A and B are shown apart, each in its own frame.
Chain A
Amino acid sequence: MRISYRMIQKARLINPLLPYMLPQCRNLQDAKQELIWLEKHFKNQNIQLAKAVIERFKGKPLQYILKNQPFGEDLTINCRPNVLIPRWETDEFCHFINTKIFQNYQSQDINKKINIVDLCSGSGCISLSIKESNTMFNVFGVDISDSCINLANENKKINSLEDVEFIKGDILNPDLKLLNKLIASSAEKKIDMIISNPPYILHSFLPYLNTSVKKYEPSLALFGNLEFYENFVKIWSKYCDSFFYELGEIEQFEYINSNLDPKVWAVLKWSDSNDKIRGVYGYRKHSQIAKMFDTCK
């Protein structure tokens, strides 16, 4: 939809830079808020501020201009081109996992060190936020891209967290070396939980995407249909006790729900606070870790 001339005029009266924020923000309130954040970042640097505003006008994501994004309890995640920016929904489901599921770890007397694998770790936000609130756990992150691994290690250093290992590896065709490395730390030779935010936007959705996403963010981290869910059912589900996958379409939930054995697996939906389905999670009914899920229902 076009932005009305009246709105542009109104914005210009408030601040001459404000009209340039409108195409990306779409309304006056959000535009004002973003300009405040930019002004805070570029204090007393008027030329840089003007440059940043024009970059934003062209569609560059705000997180790439400010170079970071707050995440989880107290993390700052650095953002760079070629790596997906952490999303609000991811933050919300991390909060859900930390407060509703892992909260039961101590009360349920699970006498083992839990190891968690974050597939498609990207900037490392999920693994780091889980490590931040559960320092006892073993956390691994796996990603195929070099720039993701570098950035994730950098983020680990910035937030002064340790014992999080980021490994480069192909998730769709995992080799034995990678699998052995992930399993090695546990006694039962199993991964306790797989958490993943795989690419899930359909290719047919491309024309409707926002320019800032389309132009600036890596397509490797965005587009996919059922690949990762098929891959989970065929390969990763053999090695894990529970899982949490973010998703975009309901078909992806149905694929997992129908292809896992209902006698062994319990599969549940997770929807965000706007009642939109955003995730699928499940656990083996007879595993030790199932205790954590029983209480959170």
Chain B
Amino acid sequence: MFQYINIFNKRLIHNNITLKAKVKAHQLPPRVRWDPKLECEIEEKFLYGGSGAGGQAINRTASKVQLKHIPTGIVVVNQFSRSQKDNRKKAREILMEKIESLRNSNGKGNGMGMSDRALAVYNLKKQKKLNRERGAAKKYKKIDEERAELKEKKLEQEKLMIMKLTGKLE
């Protein structure tokens, strides 16, 4: 009886923890979007890689877009697409994320140094990892127990064999 209650208590606590940390993928806070008002606070540059002749003389396939947010001094460099427009858009998204994380650090906002969405995604990943580990621990516990049983059985059999051979009890 006592044992049963103990297990029941454990379960309750366990459930409570999972309920608290539960985040679903479709319930995440909205993505951080670029604010057009910030357009006047940034300095945009296209880095063609080094000085010297550009233009028709060199056929560059990739060009970096560099954004500098003047009030905070954050610099973002991006080069992932062949399209200048996509690069500029992506760089703005990254910069916005960084500005948002600065707003949430030093005891302001959520105080974790991340935007709300990034924090939620981080929690989700953490929870998934934890669940995976817990599952794995359960599985391997079972297997280990079975192995231990097998080992014991083998030992007993060996003992019996020795007894039969020697005709003595140890």
Q: Hey, which bits of chain A sit against chain B, CB under 8 A?
A: 25, 29-30, 33-34, 37, 61-63, 69-74, 84-85, 87-89, 91-92, 95, 197, 199-201, 205, 208-210, 212-213, 217, 221-222, 246, 248, 272-274, 276, 278
Contact = CB atoms under 8 A, between A and B. Distances in A.
A85 B62 contact: no
Where chain B touches its partner, the secondary structure class is loop
A276 B54 contact: yes
B61 interface: yes
B127 interface: no
A222 B57 CA distance: 8
B46 interface: yes
Contacts of A85: 59
A200 B55 contact: yes
A63 B51 contact: no
B63 interface: yes
B86 interface: yes
A92 B46 CA distance: 9
B1 to A, nearest CB: 63
Nearest to A68: B82
Contact of A70 (B45, B60, B79, B86): B86
B46 A88 contact: yes
Contacts of A72: 85
B46 A33 contact: no
A273 B82 CA distance: 18
Contact of A91 (B62, B80, B84): B84
Contact of A213 (B51, B57, B80): B57
A222 B46 contact: no
Contacts of B45: 273-274
Contact of B55 (A30, A74, A208, A248): A248
Contacts of B60: 87-88
Given A70-B82, A278-B55, 16 more contacts: A61-B59, A69-B82, A72-B85, A87-B54, A88-B54, A89-B48, A89-B54, A91-B84, A197-B56, A200-B56, A209-B57, A210-B59, A213-B59, A248-B53, A274-B45, A274-B47
